[in-house]
Amino acid sequence: MFSNKSLPASNTIVGFDSLPSNVLAYLIERHPDQIPDKIMRLAPNPADAFNRFFVGLARGHLTASNHDVSPVRGA
């Protein structure tokens, strides 16, 4: 049996900084339980945690590898 419905296209995105802003907002608002614990430990709420994560990456204080957040040694 065939349907005239179109299937959603799947996309692969590597890294949270590659997510479109609407997808990141959806993750923060609707599925904060899917945010890795190491990011959530950066701040009490998901939006602040991601803000600190992105600022830390930009300043070189954090490295992101395989959904892991680790302080940079010597920083």
pTM: 0.69
Residue 17 CA to residue 1 CA, distance in Å, equals 41
3-state DSSP assignment of residue 67? coil
Amino acid 35: pLDDT: 93
In this structure, the chain runs to a length of 75
The 10s digit of each residue's pLDDT in 27-75 is 999 999 999 998 999 999 999 999 999 998 888 888 766 445 555 555 4
Segments making up each domain of the chain, as ranges:
20-71
- Answer with the residue of higher pLDDT: 40 or 12: 40
- Answer with the residue of higher pLDDT: 18 or 51: 51
